[in-house]
Chains A and B, each alone.
Chain A
Amino acid sequence: MTLELRHVTKSVAGETHIFETDLVLEEGSFNVLLGTTLSGKTTLLQLMAGLDRPSRGEIWFRGQNVTGMAVQKRNVSMVYQQFINYPHLTVYENIASPLKVAGMDRAEIERRVGAVAELLRLKPMLGRKPAELSGGQQQRTAIARALVKDSDLVLLDEPLANLDYKLREELRDELPRLFAGRSCIVVYATTEPTEALLFGGNTATLHEGRITQFGPTGTIYRQPKDLISAQVFSDPPLNVAQVTKQGSRIHLAGGIGFDLGTAAVTLPDGPYTWAIRAHHITPESHPGQPTLDGRVLLAELTGSDSVIHFHLDGGTWISQSHGVHPFDVGAEARLYVDVARSFLFGADGRLMGGSE
């Protein structure tokens, strides 16, 4: 039992929104669609739901071609970034609405709504209207409505993006628990790499209407297929430099060079793109690690992390490290580079060597 996208493309008014895509999602899997705004996440979700038809290609579900099938006939649910509920109905009626439309009997509706409300801690709010709820509760209601009918496919389009920090963390922890033990396919679209890492499951990196890589989240993170996938899956942004490799050494502009060790020796010499995630460049001294000396452009504290933007030979680099590392803007900073955790991409962008 799978959801399959076969050579699916979508273009609107001559503009391609989704380039040819092949994707197989397994039953009971949690899949994250990771991409920036306008990368095509929502379009892809709408195609999966059946709210939109692909321009070309087919969508198969459980061995059946469902390409032209109306969304009402498919057993799907969707949760949006905006908290979408029926404003004139109470929370109870909101959650019950898909069951009522399906013609389920009252007792069964009551039982199901009660169970899902319990799960999402909405029991005390069942008699209220959505407008009388907090944002978190409104989104819980929308999620409850998506869960109550036991859909085969649950699509979540950045469901936590409009919530404030604390509620987001809370709901983020709850989500995987909600889907545990269900046989449905979950697709979760997000712009935040952190969310993909938290949920595990599978991740598809999406860039400008193309799925650049799909597979188990850990694998995608540690071994991105190409530079774009690595960039999509990096927050803060990936540090990238054009280098020339000679033997085991790479040479950056400005006479800086690193020894990548034996792994790089087997690769042909020549120009490469070298990339390293921000948290592998830290101000904490590690004996034996090469260093970069830059000028601090910006030093920000995000919770328990320090993010330092520094300037080096015409480029901007970013370092992310645990703990508080105060730096004055304009000061010289020495940063240690964990070169063993860096990537080397070929001229065509493909991963040639290295891993997290």
Chain B
Amino acid sequence: MRKRSLIPIIYIVFLMLPIYWLVAMSFKTTNEILGGFSLFPQDFTLENYAKIFTDSTWYSGYINSLIYVVTNTILSVAVALPAAYAFSRYRFLGDKHLFFWLLTNRMAPAAVFALPFLQLYSAVGLFDTHIAVALAHTLFNVPLAVWILEGFMSGVPKELDETAYVDGYSFPRFFVRIFIPTIAAGIGVACFFCFMFSWVEMLLAKTLTSVDAKPIVATMTRTASTSGYELGLLAAAGTLTIIPGAFVIYFVRNYIAKGFALGRV
């Protein structure tokens, strides 16, 4: 029994070590971090967090990120819902090819799109706006959401649709009142994946913004400032960046495996 639990314990320790190190660092002063090896904060401080919550160059990064991430999630799922319904319920010319092509959009690295997006958004005056990043991220998130939702929708028998029509539901009423609640778990999972992608994506977010919509990931990677290295501050920012993801994952924890299989379990 002890032997069997040993390996998972080692695994979890290794997995948690960097996160622990980050959290521990966030409670240290930069001098202590640079001073040498210490397992626990010797000189426990909340200064780093206080700075983030009071200095607008820091906290506005979180606000900017949250704005475009939430916008993107809502946009992606709203667009993906009818698309996924069409793929799951109707047969049309080239539907399978189109469905696959959607996913191939995810296969190109974001860097490929950075330049055209930058040029395009600058030309139409969207540069350095939240909506610019939100729109750029839909390129990756809409296909993903369509794939996840299609899987969940195909798990619902089409007889449910027919029963609703027979009961007198019109299509829009059926879709909103019956169908969306039925696949609520799938919508949750799709939202989670969109949120996470948009939250961690850095390259496009950084390229398409400068000041007004600057995301936290951009602020965080500014390692050196006028006062030199601020490692404690960066660690605190990093810790705060993990929290929204952990928060969102909590709500969909029971469906996440199904989501990774794109709803096809």
A residues sitting closer than 8 Å to B (CB atoms) are 46, 49, 51, 70-72, 76-78, 80, 82, 84, 86-88, 97-98, 101-102, 142, 145, 149
Contacts and interface: CB of A to CB of B under 8 A. Distances in A.
A86 B169 contact: no
Instruction: Pick from A70, A76, A82, A101 the residue with the most CB of B within 10 Å.
Output: A101
A49 B165 CA distance: 10
Interface in B145-180: 157, 159-160, 162-170, 173, 178
| Most chain A Cβ neighbours within 10 Å, of B160, B166, B169, B181 | B166
B159 A82 contact: yes
Contact of A51 (B166, B173, B178): B166
Contact of A76 (B166, B169, B181, B184): B166
Given A77-B167, A86-B164, A88-B182, 4 more contacts: A49-B162, A71-B166, A98-B167, A102-B168
B158 to A, nearest CB: 10
A86 B182 contact: yes
How would you classify the secondary structure of chain A's contact residues: helix, strand, loop or mixed? Answer: mixed
Interface of B: 157, 159-160, 162-170, 173, 178, 181-182, 184
5 contacts: A80-B157, A80-B159, A97-B167, A142-B163, A145-B167
Instruction: Provide the main secondary structure of the chain B interface.
Output: helix
A98 B173 CA distance: 12
B159 A87 contact: no
A74 to B, nearest CB: 9
Closest 5 A/B residue pairs (Cβ): A88-B181, A98-B167, A101-B168, A80-B159, A71-B165
Interface centre among A49, A51, A149, by most B CB within 10 Å? A51
A251 to B, nearest CB: 52
B165 A72 contact: yes
Contacts of B184: 88
A51 B165 contact: yes
A101 B164 CA distance: 10
Contact of B162 (A70, A78, A97): A78
B182 A87 contact: yes
A152 to B, nearest CB: 12
A187 to B, nearest CB: 13
A100 to B, nearest CB: 9
A76 B170 CA distance: 15
Contacts of A51: 162, 165-166
Given A71-B165, A87-B182, A88-B184, A101 B160 contact: no
Contacts of B181: 86-88
Contacts of B167: 77, 97-98, 101, 145, 149
A82 B168 CA distance: 20
Contacts of B178: 86
A189 to B, nearest CB: 13
Contacts of B159: 80, 82, 84
B169 A72 contact: yes
Contacts of A149: 167
